[in-house]
Homo-oligomer: A and B are copies of this chain.
């Protein structure tokens, strides 16, 4: 396979057959990029900046990674590896999926900037593959592979869009330097105007309700997650129900 034909970073070996020993590595580059992105956002992780972070020249990175897009794919896969899937599948699919959902959410909250990278088609990265094996493995004995794909996509979709909402504020604050309270104050006039117009009763309801105490973000997430899991439970044969059919109950006793 020549260089011109590759469709995927994973198909290009990191190290060539022989030559002088490289001073850096994909892992180090990826790590540095993540560090920068965590601190200042993904757009701050430019090739020059990453190179500077590890003490290399800008162009040296291209000895390890074909392009910035490919580097981002590397990063995305490394991030998947942060999700703890030890011992999965365990036999209790609901516990497994809960752990996966929590882990995925926690990872996204740690690295909010992944929300901006699209990662829709199969990448064949090692960690991505591991997630597939472990998580889909939890439902594999209960449903067909097609059904499994759909159900896991449903779950992952829920987690990602839920976290996208959570992230919104933090990212905006980092980008514009404005916190949620100040943003609210600044938006005040527009909100007032919309409410006074009387054309937006639901919007008004949301704003008014938003002023009272709410469930914590964790609780909101949990609430929605239980709903999705119930939905998944409804799609698999009843025999696969967990031993104690406690409906709508929190099934695990550990914290976050």
Given A160-B157, A187-B11, verify A168-B234 contact (CB < 8 Å).
no
Minimum CB–CB distance for A41 against chain B, Å: 12
Residue-wise interface mask of A (185-208) relative to B, using a CB-CB cutoff of 8 A (1 in contact, 0 not): 011011100100001111101100
Given A121-B169, A150-B220, A153-B161, verify A186-B6 contact (CB < 8 Å).
yes
Residues of B within 8 A of A206 (CB): 132, 145, 149
A176 to B11, CA, bound (A): 16
In this complex, how many residues of chain A approach chain B with their Cβ under 8 Å: the count is 74
Asked if B146 and A165 sit within 8 Å, CB to CB, the answer is no
Minimum CB–CB distance for A85 against chain B, Å: 13
A171 within 8 A of B: yes
Copies of this chain = 2
Q: Which of A75-83, A103-111, A244-252 contacts B (4 or more CB under 8 A)?
A: A244-252
* Cβ-closest chain B residue relative to A246: B256
Asked if A248 and B252 sit within 8 Å, CB to CB, the answer is no
Asked if A178 and B227 sit within 8 Å, CB to CB, the answer is no
Which parts of A164-182 form the interface with B (CB within 8 Å)? 164-165, 167-169, 171-172, 176, 178
A176 to B205, CA, bound (A): 46
Which parts of A94-127 form the interface with B (CB within 8 Å)? 115-116, 118, 120-122, 124
Asked if B120 and A168 sit within 8 Å, CB to CB, the answer is yes
A187 to B194, CA, bound (A): 52
A209 within 8 A of B: yes
Residues of B within 8 A of A161 (CB): 153, 156-157, 160-161
Minimum CB–CB distance for A134 against chain B, Å: 9
Residue-wise interface mask of A (9-34) relative to B, using a CB-CB cutoff of 8 A (1 in contact, 0 not): 01100000000000000000000000
* Cβ-closest chain B residue relative to A178: B7
Closest 4 CB pairs of A and B: A157-B161, A120-B168, A231-B231, A121-B168
Q: A124-B187, A132-B202, A145-B205 are in contact. List 4 more A-B contacts (CB 8 A).
A: A129-B200, A136-B202, A146-B214, A248-B254
